[in-house]
């Protein structure tokens, strides 16, 4: 029986980020060709696949940390962030 080669993923884009990012919180929105990333200082940045920054969001509370990021299923109407505070971590 011949051995099958695994499928290969094609490279869609290469983005160079200006700050280090948390890869666990990077989310892609293929319907809008966007990628949302959270930097290590807990700021959200959204980039187009061509590397252009679309928009960003700074956290309001310096004690809060982003725990998850999620696009709405169609990628058009919403991008949700879940924050936790340091007091919630300690309890």
Torsion of CA 12, 16, 20, 21, to 10 degrees: -20
Q: Is 49 inside a domain boundary?
A: yes
Q: Total structural domains in the chain?
A: 1
Identify whether 42 is part of a domain: yes
- Bridge-partner residues for 46, per DSSP? 36, 55
Question: Domain of 60?
Answer: 21-90
Q: Is residue 67 part of a domain?
A: yes
CA angle at 12 for the pair 7 and 16, rounded to the nearest 5°: 130
**Percent of the chain whose pLDDT exceeds 90:** 26
Q: Which residue did the predictor score with more confidence, 69 or 31?
A: 69
Report if residue 29 sits inside a domain. yes
> Is residue 12 domain-resident?
no
**What CA–CA distance (Å, rounded) separates 48 from 12?**
11
What pTM does this model have? 0.75
According to the model, what pLDDT value does residue 25 have?
Answer: 92
Whether residue 8 lies inside any domain: the answer is: no
């Amino acid at each position: 029986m011949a051995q099958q080669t695994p499928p290969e993923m094609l490279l869609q884009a290469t983005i160079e980020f200006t700050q280090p990012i948390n890869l666990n919180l990077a989310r892609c929105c293929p319907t809008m060709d966007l990628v949302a990333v959270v930097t290590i200082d807990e700021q959200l940045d959204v980039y187009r696949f061509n590397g252009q920054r679309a928009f960003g969001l700074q956290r309001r509370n310096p004690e809060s940390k982003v725990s998850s990021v999620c696009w709405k299923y169609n990628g058009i109407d919403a991008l949700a962030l879940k924050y936790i505070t340091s007091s919630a971590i300690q309890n």
